[in-house]
Amino acid sequence: MTIVDVNTPGGRYPIHIAAGRLDKIAESIPADATSIVVVTNPVVAGLYGERVERSLAATGKRVLRVELPDGEQYKTWETLNLIFDALLGNRCDRRCVLVALGGGVIGDVTGFAAAVYMRGVRFVQVPTTLLAQVDSSVGGKTAVNHPLGKNMVGAFHQPIAVEVDTDVLKTLPAREISAGLAEVIKYGAILDTEFFAWCERNAPALRALDPEAVTYAIARSCEIKADVVSQDERETTGLRALLNLGHTFGHAIESGLGYGAWLHGEAVGCGMVQAAELSADVAGLPLADAQRIRALVEAIGCPTVAPDLGADRWLDLMQVDKKTEGGELRFVLMPSLGAAKMRTAPEDAVRAVIARTVRIEDSTALPAVVTEVA
C-alpha cells in the first residue's frame, strides 16, 4: 500500500492507495464514532454499497445509507438537504462520521454537509472515479453549484482519511478515465515537468489502466496536491490557486452547456489547451510547449476544441469565477512548462483564444473519444 500524508492547519490525514481498500475502510473510522452514514448514488451503491457497508459493520457502529441522484446537475442545495434530512431524521449527533462513496460530486456534497452539520462533523473520502482519486477528494474543498457559477457555495473542511481503491477504476467507462487523466497531467503542467514528460510517455498505459502506471500517477498527483495544500490550505497566498489550471475556461464550458453535458475533467482538459494558448500569447510560453499540452490532452482522450458559447457569453461566465478580483479576470498561466503563475490577461487576448479554440459548427455535441484503447 502507498500512503501519502496530508498535513494542513485544518487537519492531518492519510491517503491510502492500494487495490482492495474498500474492504479496509473500517480502519479509518474513529473508535468514538456513534454512527456511520454512507453517502453515495444509485450507480455506485449498486456496485459497492453492500461491500462497503459489510466492511464498516466490523466497527460495531450503526451504519446508515443515503443515496443521492447521480450527476453534476444534482450538485445543488436541494440535494444537500437530503443528507441533512437523513442525519436529523436518524438523530445523528456530533460524533457521527460521514463516508463519501462516489465521484467528485458525492465527495463535494458530502464534505460540505460534514462541514456545516452541527457546525462540523468528521468524514472519510472514498473516491470511486480517477478524477476524484487524484484531485477532488484531497485538500478539503467542499461545495455545491449555483445556477450562476460552479462551486460558488461551499467551505474548506478536511476529511479524516482518503481511501483510494485502484480496483474500482476497472468499472469506469473510458470517458471517465480520460476525464480523470486531465487532472493528472495538470499537476505536471503547473509544477513538475518530469511528471509531465512521464505522462507523455505513459499515456497509452494510463488509458489502459496498467496497474503500476495508474498507481504511480495517483500517488504522484496526491503528493503534489498534498504539498501545495499544506502550504496554502485556503488559497491565501495564491499557491493553491495554481491547481486551477484550465478551470476558468473549463467551468465556463460546464456552466454554459449545462452541468453534466461535459464531464468536469473533459472541460478542464479542453480548458488547459485554451490556457496554454493564452499563455503562449501573453505569458511567454513557447509554442512548442503549448503544442505538447494540446497533444497530451488529445492523447489521453479529452477534447481539445471547445463549444462555441459566443465570446460575450464566455466572458460573462468567466466573470463568475473565484479567481476574479475587482472585475478583472485572472488566469493560471504558464511562462514555462512546470512554472505556472496567476496573472491577468487583456480581454482582447482572451477573445482571440476563444475564437481560435471553439467548434463553431456544433456547439452542443458531446466531446468525441479520440481513440479506444484495446
146 belongs to the catalytic site: no
141 belongs to the catalytic site: yes
| Closest alpha carbon to 307 in 259, 263, 363 | 363
Does residue 108 have a known ligand-binding role? yes
Does residue 141 have a known ligand-binding role? yes
Q: What three-state secondary structure class fits 141? A: strand
Residue 138 in grid coordinates? 484531497
List the catalytic residue out of 21, 122, 264, 330: 264
347 belongs to the catalytic site: no
Q: Quickly list H helices, the chain.
A: 42-44, 50-57, 77-89, 104-116, 130-131, 174-191, 193-207, 211-231, 247-257, 264-282, 287-299, 311-319, 347-357
Q: Which residues pair with 12 in a beta bridge?
A: 7
Q: How far apart are CA 184 and CA 54, in angstroms?
A: 32
202 belongs to the catalytic site: no
List the catalytic residue out of 240, 322, 323, 330: 240
Largest CA distance in the chain: 62
Does residue 104 have a known ligand-binding role? yes
Q: What three-state secondary structure class fits 91? A: coil
24 belongs to the catalytic site: no
Does residue 6 have a known ligand-binding role? no
List the catalytic residue out of 61, 186, 251, 323: 251
122 belongs to the catalytic site: no
254 belongs to the catalytic site: no
Does residue 247 have a known ligand-binding role? yes
List the catalytic residue out of 122, 244, 323, 330: 244
Does residue 146 have a known ligand-binding role? no
Q: Which residues of 28-59 are buried (b: 16+ CB within 10 A; e: fewer)?
A: bbeeebebbbbbbbeebbebbbeebbebbeeb
234 belongs to the catalytic site: no
List the catalytic residue out of 91, 119, 212, 372: 119
Does residue 264 have a known ligand-binding role? yes
Does residue 176 have a known ligand-binding role? no
Residue type, 158: Q
Does residue 129 have a known ligand-binding role? yes
41 belongs to the catalytic site: no
Q: How far apart are CA 246 and CA 276, in angstroms?
A: 8
Does residue 70 have a known ligand-binding role? yes
16 belongs to the catalytic site: no
Does residue 183 have a known ligand-binding role? yes
Q: Quickly list H helices, 208-321.
A: 211-231, 247-257, 264-282, 287-299, 311-319
List the catalytic residue out of 176, 223, 235, 266: 235
Does residue 223 have a known ligand-binding role? no
List the catalytic residue out of 21, 157, 220, 225: 225
List the catalytic residue out of 183, 223, 266, 277: 183
Does residue 74 have a known ligand-binding role? yes
List the catalytic residue out of 16, 61, 157, 247: 247
Q: Which residues of 355-371 are buried (b: 16+ CB within 10 A; e: fewer)?
A: eebbeeeeeeeebeebe
Residues flagged as binding site: 70-75, 104-108, 128-129, 141, 150, 183, 247, 264
The residues carrying an active-site annotation are: 119, 141, 183, 225, 235, 240, 244, 247, 251, 264
Task: Indicate the annotated binding residues for NAD(+).
Answer: 70-75, 104-108, 128-129, 141, 150
Annotated binding site for Zn(2+): 183, 247, 264
